[in-house]
Amino acid sequence: LDPFCHILFGIMFAARVAARGLAPIVARRGLASFAAQTTSRTLSAVAAGTGIGVGLATFSISQAQASPLDWIFGKAKVGGEWDEVRAEIKELFEDNPDNGPFFIRLAWHCAGSYDKNDNTGGSNGATMRFSPEADHGGNAGLGLARDLLEPVKAKHPTLSYADIYTFAGVASTELMGGPTIDWAPGRVDFAEGEGVTPDGRLPDATQGAEHLRAVFYRMGFNDQDIVALSGAHCLGFCHDDRSGFVGTWTETPHEFTNKFFKYIKDKKWNLKQWDGPAQFENADGGELMMLPTDMALLTDTNFRKYLDLYADNEPQFRKDFASAFSQLLNLGVPRS
């Protein structure tokens, strides 16, 4: 290597050490807002700091998305106090595995109010803590999930509710065998009455394909994202005292798989005969269910091609879900 390359790699190495060294310092000081409020860290004039004068040497690490310099600095990871939060969420999951899907629904609904047209809603603010958002039909029952996370917030008062709610969804996905979700702190909590969004922004499961598009396009997603995110229905249950629907999509509601897509495609589904809202049950037993919006993935031509893809290719589903879920949880969060 020529002398310039030696100098360049010296700068890169010094920057890597410096970048990694900052994290434990911040964690020890308890400055959760250090990472929360600033989404990009810049290490400037590293050469000067190491006694190597090579003019301007500036590197930037983005917390919001992967950097081309990950190989130099190492991929940014959530650690420190967030490792403690992860352990506490794991305890809640082990106490009751149903809490896992519950936390994913909480994180999803915190973010799903976003409107790209006026940049309102999204996961910033934790506005679901207050009425009227707490009382929106789509959020029925989520007060229980928020209550479960109150002891976590009490132990970590400098962390925002908005970050804790979304991180609970991320950690739960991973605890149930799902993909690693790229997530970064940075959300703040709004005061009561601030950032209120109207009811009706979340998906209505009684509707069809065009309704799904109206809701998700408003957030900036496309058809493939819609199908990938719908795959979260491999987890959890519907409760008639919350959504009005009842039942589970798969027989393994605490395991992240592509069964949701396989079952829609491979099983025969009949309209359930009952007094509740329209939903479907499998013809070979009736122990599983699908929602009208789920069945739209089967009947809509463009949705169907992605349903087929994910039914046949679980690694692709995991990859695309991780990307779309990360994007969802970042909606409405100011990142510079």
Q: What whole-number distance in Å separates Cα of residue 296 and Cα of residue 212?
A: 9
Write down the catalytic residue from 82, 108, 249, 269.
249
Determine how β-strand 40-44 pairs with β-strand 58-62: antiparallel
Residue 49 C-beta-side C-alpha neighbours within 13 Å: 15
Q: What is the DSSP letter of 112?
A: T
- C-alpha triplet 137, 98, 228: angle, nearest 5°: 70
Would residue 109 show up in a list of annotated catalytic residues for this protein?
Answer: yes
Q: How many angstroms separate the CA atoms of 332 and 334, rounded?
A: 6
What are the tokens at 24?
């434990």
274 is catalytic: no
- Cross-strand bridge partners of residue 288: 248
- Out of 82, 108, 109, 136, the active site residue is 109
Q: Are 110 and 333 in contact (CB under 8 A)?
A: no
- Output the DSSP codes for 45-103: -HHHHTT---S--EEEEESSS--TTHHHH------THHHHHHHHHHHHHHH-TTHHHHH
The token pair that represents 150 in the structure block: 């109150």
Task: Find where tokens 């009455």 sit.
Answer: 193
Cα of first residue to Cα of last residue in the chain, in angstroms, is 37
Active-site positions? 109, 249
